[in-house]
């Protein structure tokens, strides 16, 4: 690994642990190197005793791409320590400028790994077959860059702004997830509205994207892994004292109270 990659990983990791924004890296970094920085950041998390949980997809909806000014799907990692329990007020401590967004979360019943020479379509079918549950969720993203602005390689290197996540009650899967209404509420007011089809036209297409990214960048898919499919609406800034609800049709409402 080049020292550049290790150094960039340390800079971004420090911005996160110190909850202080850092400057954008700019265009110099290739997407491949940005994923190498991200992998090195994962190594730093694991070195601190965190446990890998699963992958998260980003920018699977036009709503998010437009909000953030990027035009490609990205993938990042989640650790068990990023998951917050439902029903307890969440603290914004340790976060720089957090935003929150409604997500669908899939759960894997057993380990899945690409086989030698396996193509993405075959892997996608196996990931889907291994998925035994789906839940409404919310992701708290927190860019480590100043003003929450970034290029595509910036945001990939910064582990796709991943910071925290919450998962509602697991529901049986398989089931159709197409055409579900999504209302995102803050303090009882609907601030964003969308449908589940914001995710790639049908949330089940997330498996295809995840498989393609797994073949390319080698993400682990262990048993129990939560997989975030990507936000269905633009994200909203989190403030102390807010009550935020993700109301996704056919799922129990999921609410978090901000301390």
- 233 forms part of the interface with Mg ion (CB under 5 A): no
Check: CB of residue 38 under 8 Å from CB of residue 161: no
Q: How far apart are the first and last CA of the chain?
A: 41
Which burial class, exposed, middle or buried, applies to 65 when counting CB atoms under 10 A from its CB (0-12, 13-18, 19+)? Answer: middle
- Restricted to residues 23-62, the positions that interact with ligand OOG (CB under 6 A) are 58-59
CB closer to ligand OOG out of 58 and 114: 58
Closest CB 44 distance from ligand OOG, rounded Å? 19
Beta bridge partner(s), residue 102: 138
The residue from 231, 233, 242, 245 that contacts Mg ion (CB under 5 A) is 231
CB closer to ligand OOG out of 114 and 203: 203
Cβ neighbours of residue 175 closer than 8 Å, sequence gap 6 or more:
134
Closest CB 38 distance from ligand OOG, rounded Å? 12
Would you tell me how many other CB atoms lie within 10 Å of the CB of residue 35? 23
Distance in angstroms (rounded) separating the CA atoms of residues 8 and 6 = 6
The residue from 160, 196, 242, 245 that contacts ligand OOG (CB under 6 A) is 160
Check: CB of residue 236 under 8 Å from CB of residue 211: no
CB closer to ligand OOG out of 126 and 192: 192
DSSP 233: S
Of 55, 84, 80, 53, which is closest to residue 227 (Cα–Cα)? 55
- 154 forms part of the interface with ligand OOG (CB under 6 A): no
Closest CB 199 distance from ligand OOG, rounded Å? 9
- Restricted to residues 206-235, the positions that interact with ligand OOG (CB under 6 A) are 230-231, 235
- Restricted to residues 66-125, the positions that interact with ligand OOG (CB under 6 A) are 68, 101
The residue from 139, 154, 185, 192 that contacts Mg ion (CB under 5 A) is 139
* Token pair belonging to 108: 């894997």
26-34, 175-183, 195-203, 228-236 -> range binding Mg ion (CB under 5 A): 228-236
How many residues at the interface with ligand OOG, by CB under 6 A?
14
* Token pair belonging to 101: 């967004």
Distance in angstroms (rounded) separating the CA atoms of residues 150 and 233 = 19
Distance in angstroms (rounded) separating the CA atoms of residues 130 and 136 = 19
Closest CB 86 distance from Mg ion, rounded Å? 17
CB closer to ligand OOG out of 126 and 209: 209
Closest CB 60 distance from ligand OOG, rounded Å? 6
Contacts to ligand OOG by CB under 6 A: 58-59, 64, 68, 101, 139, 141, 143, 155, 160-161, 230-231, 235
């Amino acid at each position: 690994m080049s020292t550049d990659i290790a150094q960039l990983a340390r800079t971004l990791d420090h911005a996160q642990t110190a909850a202080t924004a850092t400057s954008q890296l700019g265009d110099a970094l290739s997407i491949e190197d940005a994923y190498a920085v991200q992998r090195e950041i994962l190594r730093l998390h694991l070195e601190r005793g965190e446990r890998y949980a699963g992958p998260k997809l980003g920018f699977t909806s036009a709503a998010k791409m437009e909000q953030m000014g990027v035009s490609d799907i990205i993938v990042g990692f989640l650790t068990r320590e990023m998951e917050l329990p439902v029903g307890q007020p969440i603290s914004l401590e340790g976060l720089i400028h957090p935003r929150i967004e409604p997500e669908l979360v899939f759960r894997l019943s057993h380990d899945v790994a690409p086989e030698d020479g396996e193509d993405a379509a075959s892997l996608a079918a196996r990931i889907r077959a291994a998925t035994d549950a789906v839940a409404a969720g919310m992701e708290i993203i927190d860019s480590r860059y100043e003003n929450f602005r970034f290029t595509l390689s910036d945001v990939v290197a910064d582990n796709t702004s991943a910071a925290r996540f919450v998962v509602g009650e697991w529901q049986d899967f398989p089931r159709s997830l197409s055409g579900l209404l999504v209302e995102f509420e803050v303090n009882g007011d609907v601030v964003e509205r969308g449908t589940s089809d914001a995710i790639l036209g049908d949330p089940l297409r997330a498996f295809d994207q995840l498989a393609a990214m797994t073949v390319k960048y080698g993400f682990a898919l262990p048993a129990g892994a939560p997989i975030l499919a990507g936000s269905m609406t633009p994200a909203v800034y989190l403030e102390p004292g807010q009550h935020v609800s993700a109301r996704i049709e056919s799922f129990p409402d999921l609410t978090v109270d901000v301390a």
